[in-house]
Structure 1
Amino acid sequence: MEFSYAKGLVGQAAESQHAEVFTTSEDDSFIRAEKARAADLATGLLLPIIVDGMSEAVLEFYTTEPVEIDTQLQKVLESVAIQIGRLIERKRHLERIEKEKEFINKAINSLPGLFYMLDEQQNFVRVNQNLIDSMGYSREELEEMHPLDFYLEKDQQRMIEAVQQAFIEGKATLVSQLRTKDGKLPWYYLTGAHFHQEGQDFILGTGIDITDRVQAEQELERHEQLLQSIMDQAGAVIYVKKKDGTFLFVNDEFLKLFGLQKEQVIGKRDVDIIDEDDVQIMRESDLEAIETGKPVELEETVQFKGEKRTYLSNKVPLKNVEGFEECVCGVSTDITERKQAENQLRESLNEKEVLLMEIHHRVKNNLAVVSSMMQLQAYESENEEVTSELNNSQSRIKSMALMHELLYQSKSFSKVNIAENITELLEHISNSIQPKEIETELNLEPVDLNINQAIPCSLILNELLVNIYKHAFPEGQDGKLHIALTENDGNVVLKVRDNGVGLPDDFDLEDPTTVGLRLINVLTKQLEADLTYSSDEEETEFELIFKKMKIKGSASNLVE
């Protein structure tokens, strides 16, 4: 039978935590007394049920006849109330344990990494869901497995030692690969901590997947090894140092040069390793690179073990590298042997230059001697034809002598500025032949010719000019002479124009009748040139066109 909750006697029993005995016919303070009498209930016993020290409920007993409750019976009933209270306490305690267990399970399974518990025999006592998902094994499979099953053979001893360390020292860490069910080998950072519970020892462990970090570190290490290998095999001294001269990096070539180990250099200043006088010069270029933010290239000399070595150094400021803003990277290549070879080559070239100058000087002098002999012979000869030919030959020799004079005065011994040669040749011919009032106009571009083209070109011009001065202008006639020299796309064009009497009717370049014309023909072929002319009563013009080339061999070959 259920009765509504009321205060009164029930409330007193709950509050006092003692039994209350009453009769329904006499005690109206019992709120359900009227209902109890209607149900023919006579005597009642109220027993409080105490849970965790508090009255949780009241247990009610009734008789149908008015009786006095036996003390023994009351004790039995009180014992029943006590047991009910204890049952309620136990049930609630178990409920709290289940909730705590559920909370712990949720917390463990929510951990981002692996969670596991091992006993002294290294059997799995507990694992979280993430371990199951990550390793790919079921809980049933894990119960049959040993932790070593997850490790490669090469890592198993390390794992055993780490577990032993955790049991002895209280904690341990391990970085290792774990083998999953599908054969993958991710990297994990594993921790283990020892604790003792109810006479047993356990290891509580966690694992964080660090595969990405390890792979990034391995990739970085590979790049560092590649960079170090490149620098060590570069054949140059490479270093990085601070503004104050403290070395932060050096390669093998640097260490070999000074006979040091890396730990003897890194963190040390340049003055601790290199001669102080040399350091001062190096510091100036270091500071220039750092302060201007621009690369610096220079030659540096290092005194080491009584020997001076010369280096070509390139210094680059590391302005965009975090942590190295006031540092400089130097790359120094040993050019000692090259400098020695350059000096020897320079000395050899100077000797050859002197020798060539002497050769050209002697050739010029010898040609001058031959020219003078021809001039003497011409003075002694009474034959006008012989005298004329001697004078012509003398002019040709003078043309070649002028070429060697220009070579002697030039910085180059293989080519000359033909424009300068034309000017001097014209002056020589106008002075050597009886002076005439001839107005000359020169339009000469600076054209450098190989000596093997310059000499035949000069000889052709000599023949043309001699012919003009001798035959184009009769006695008393004024004249104009125009010489033009141009170069276009590697083609040299020489034009000689006069306003003299013109060429004779029987003039034919293809069928020469004089030594001069035959010489012009031979030299034109030697140049592989085109020589054309035009002549009328007003003017005569010769045009010589040839390809500018580098020709090796003798300067002239007049024998066909």
Structure 2
Amino acid sequence: MEPTDVKRLPWQESILDALDVGIVVLDRHGRVQFWNGWMEAASGVPSATIHGQELVDALPALRDSRLHTAIRDVLDTGAPSVLSHTLNPVLFPLRCADGRRMVHNVLIRPMTANGARYCVIQVTDVTAVVNRERVLREQRDARYRAIVDTAPDAIVTTDTRGVLQWANGAAAQQFGYRPNELIGQSVSLVLAEGSPDWSSLVDRDAADRHAPIELIGRRRDGSRIDLEVSLARWESEGRSFITGILRDITERRRTREELKANALAMRQLAEQTKATLDALPAHIAVLDHGGHIISVNKAWAEGGPGAGFLGDGSIIGDNYLEACASTQAGGADYADALIEGLRGLLLFGGTPVSIEYPGLSAGGPRWYRCLAAPMAAGPFGGAVLMHIDITEIKSMEATLRKLVGQKSTLLREVNHRVKNSLQLVSSLLTLQTMSLPGAAERAHFQDARARIDAIARVHSRLYQTDQFQTIEFGSYLNELCTDLSRASGATLGAIAVKADRIDLPIDQAAPLGLIANELITNAIKHRGAEPANILVELHKTGAPPELAAELIVSDQGPGLPEGFDMRKTRSLGMRLITSLTGQISATVSRLPVERGTSFRIVLTVGEPRNAMLEDSPAEING
């Protein structure tokens, strides 16, 4: 017979009952041989009740459980087992003193006594430890959530299948969902169609594993969002998870594309600029702040030492100031002036340099214009330098000056001959007047002669000056009044002139001269027995382009009859005045005076036509 009890001394049972762990001893048939006080309190099953029973009969919930299997392994093979609460959530049906389910670990070991095999089960209460770890984990998780929930970037956690397990507030806001709407959904919900598999992204080669990935995301409304994704795989309680940071780089990508486009545009602009400079016939070079040549155009490079401009033959890398000082083209004065101007430009910037100088090329004497401008905005500072061949321009200028001189002489001769012809006509009229028997006829002829003389004075002044487009009308009025006063005799009295200096175009001066002649002549003719005391005034008002001239002719004669209308009068002189004022777009009016008559003519001074630059078709065609 095998013993059915383990022989124990009384004080041994007291020790086992005093332990703060559960002790259970089973015989080789799985019958309970010892059930200490800790187990009685935790299970609620008295030792006397369970003693001698098979454990799985007394606690049917344990049958075929992981604990039952481990017990049989110990009894059959002697292999011990450790059952953790993390992998085995249900072991013994135990409760804490406050009635909560007890979290416990179980250690199962074989034991031999009196030649018989036994199974010793040790039960440890880890409820407090687990609760403490849970509290610490929750505190740690709270800090983690506080960090990730306030992070500006979207952070999500998925399982290996890509199913979302957690998402922070930024992720929900970024994609337009509520946080609980994302949990349990596939991560493809927030990625554009055709995106690579989520798990394959984290399983990349080691060299690329930590490099960010750029993907296209999809918001709830279907709009696109550019993402930079960083992924990491981690393990917890035997399960794998993937956490990803999905940063919105839409603005950054747009800026990057703009920079790329701008860089392309700048390259195209640089190529276009170079092509344009190469197409120009001018010799162009770019100097750094020390005066060294850093770039030249095609004309400069192909010109060589025989081009004839200052510094010809210098190449990229040369100091242009030294090359200019040693050049044989032009004169030393021009080279020194250019060097001095360039030094000031390179040191201080400021006003561009412009110099014209003669040169000697392989084809003969030439003329060049050098233009230099600061280039402070460039990467090297410095200046841009240009030598332009102006030989043909100089030749054209000389020819033009000769033609202008010839045309000036011709115009002066024309005006002189017109004046002489008008004086001849005036003399003929004077002779004809002497043969007329009637005083009325003689008066008409004298009026016509006076009008011709007024026009002749205009041409006389034109050929006496170098100006062929304008007449200084103040001097003309003084001359006109002097001649009319001398022709009228001593009985006239004074003709006073107060005239500003005004240059009138010939198209306005001739008609206005006739108007002044008519008004002054009328004042002389109709003065009566008393002196007329005529006052002629010429004033300018405003400034170009609104410059105006005001002519006032006043006398102290008997005045005009009441109801006089110069537009309805049959007088040739008044009709002539009306017609001429309309011709020059002037206005004529009578000013109220106590005695005599006062006429006021106002006209806007026009721009003179440049007769020197106006050629007839015959002149243009040669």
Q: What TM-score do you get using the length of structure 1 for normalisation? A: 0.53
What is the aligned counterpart of 1:307 among 354, 364, 379?
A: 364
Q: Which amino acid aligns with 2:583?
A: Q
1:423 aligns to what? 478
2:599 aligns to what? 542
2:537 aligns to what? 483
Cα distance, 1:272 vs structure 2? 9.8
1:266 aligns to what? 316
Cα distance, 1:356 vs structure 2? 1.1
Cα distance, 1:351 vs structure 2? 1.5
Give, in whole Å, the separation in 2 of the partners of 1:222 and 1:504. Answer: 83
Give, in whole Å, the separation in 1 of the partners of 2:287 and 2:491. Answer: 79
1:34 aligns to what? none
Task: Let me know the Cα RMSD of the aligned residues.
Answer: 4.1
Cα distance, 1:362 vs structure 2? 0.3
**1:231 correspondence with 2:280:** no
What is the aligned counterpart of 2:432 among 364, 374, 377?
A: 377
Cα distance, 1:535 vs structure 2? 6.2
Deviates more, 1:443-452 or 1:257-266: 257-266
What is the aligned counterpart of 1:519 among 556, 559, 576?
A: 576
Cα distance, 1:449 vs structure 2? 2.7
Equivalences for 1:85-164 in 2 at 5 Å?
129-134=206-211
What is the aligned counterpart of 2:300 among 235, 254, 269?
A: 254
Given that 1:237 and 1:253 are in contact with CA atoms closer than 8 Å, whether structure 2 keeps it comes out as yes
Given that 1:239 and 1:248 are in contact with CA atoms closer than 8 Å, whether structure 2 keeps it comes out as yes
2:454 aligns to what? 399
Given that 1:447 and 1:486 are in contact with CA atoms closer than 8 Å, whether structure 2 keeps it comes out as yes
> Does the C-alpha gap of structure 1 residues 303 and 388 become closer, same or farther in structure 2, counting only changes over 3 Å?
same
Give deviations 1:212-249, integer Å, cap 9, x for gaps: xx999999876754553343234432124589976443
Give, in whole Å, the separation in 2 of the partners of 1:480 and 1:532. Answer: 17
Give, in whole Å, the separation in 1 of the partners of 2:479 and 2:407. Answer: 27
Structure 2: state its 5+ residue gaps.
1-203, 214-259, 610-622
Give, in whole Å, the separation in 1 of the partners of 2:606 and 2:211. Answer: 79
Cα distance, 1:483 vs structure 2? 2.1
Equivalences for 1:303-452 in 2 at 5 Å?
303-317=360-374, 328-436=383-491, 438-452=493-507
How many residue pairs get aligned? The number is: 349
Give, in whole Å, the separation in 2 of the partners of 1:454 and 1:527. Answer: 9
Classify the secondary structure of the residue corresponding to 1:472.
coil
Give, in whole Å, the separation in 2 of the partners of 1:353 and 1:288. Answer: 39
Give, in whole Å, the separation in 2 of the partners of 1:339 and 1:496. Answer: 52
Classify the secondary structure of the residue corresponding to 1:435.
coil
Given that 1:417 and 1:449 are in contact with CA atoms closer than 8 Å, whether structure 2 keeps it comes out as yes
Give, in whole Å, the separation in 2 of the partners of 1:448 and 1:314. Answer: 38
Give, in whole Å, the separation in 1 of the partners of 2:411 and 2:271. Answer: 55
> Does the C-alpha gap of structure 1 residues 360 and 229 become closer, same or farther in structure 2, counting only changes over 3 Å?
same
Given that 2:536 and 2:551 are in contact with CA atoms closer than 8 Å, whether structure 1 keeps it comes out as no
Give, in whole Å, the separation in 1 of the partners of 2:264 and 2:417. Answer: 75
Identity %: 25
Give, in whole Å, the separation in 1 of the partners of 2:337 and 2:538. Answer: 56
Give, in whole Å, the separation in 1 of the partners of 2:508 and 2:447. Answer: 21
1:499 aligns to what? 556
Q: Which amino acid aligns with 1:502?
A: G
> Does the C-alpha gap of structure 1 residues 371 and 379 become closer, same or farther in structure 2, counting only changes over 3 Å?
same
1:72 aligns to what? none
1:107 aligns to what? none
Give, in whole Å, the separation in 2 of the partners of 1:519 and 1:474. Answer: 26
Give, in whole Å, the separation in 1 of the partners of 2:429 and 2:356. Answer: 58
Q: Which amino acid aligns with 1:515?
A: L
Give deviations 1:78-107, integer Å, cap 9, x for gaps: xxxxxxxxxxxxxxxxxxxxxxxxxxxxxx
Give, in whole Å, the separation in 1 of the partners of 2:313 and 2:593. Answer: 93
Q: Which amino acid aligns with 1:265?
A: I
Q: Which amino acid aligns with 1:289?
A: L
Deviates more, 1:271-280 or 1:285-294: 271-280
Cα distance, 1:471 vs structure 2? 1.9
Given that 1:484 and 1:495 are in contact with CA atoms closer than 8 Å, whether structure 2 keeps it comes out as yes
> Does the C-alpha gap of structure 1 residues 260 and 230 become closer, same or farther in structure 2, counting only changes over 3 Å?
farther
Cα distance, 1:492 vs structure 2? 3.5
Given that 1:502 and 1:535 are in contact with CA atoms closer than 8 Å, whether structure 2 keeps it comes out as no
Give, in whole Å, the separation in 2 of the partners of 1:263 and 1:232. Answer: 17
Deviates more, 1:452-461 or 1:339-348: 339-348
Give deviations 1:358-406, integer Å, cap 9, x for gaps: 1111000111111122223334444322332222222111100111112
Cα distance, 1:284 vs structure 2? 2.2
Give, in whole Å, the separation in 2 of the partners of 1:225 and 1:507. Answer: 79
Q: Which amino acid aligns with 2:421?
A: N
Q: Which amino acid aligns with 1:386?
A: E
> Does the C-alpha gap of structure 1 residues 250 and 283 become closer, same or farther in structure 2, counting only changes over 3 Å?
farther
Cα distance, 1:509 vs structure 2? 1.5
Give deviations 1:490-528, integer Å, cap 9, x for gaps: 544321112222124575412333332332233233234
Given that 1:243 and 1:286 are in contact with CA atoms closer than 8 Å, whether structure 2 keeps it comes out as no
Given that 1:316 and 1:330 are in contact with CA atoms closer than 8 Å, whether structure 2 keeps it comes out as yes
Q: What TM-score do you get using the length of structure 2 for normalisation? A: 0.48
Given that 1:529 and 1:546 are in contact with CA atoms closer than 8 Å, whether structure 2 keeps it comes out as yes
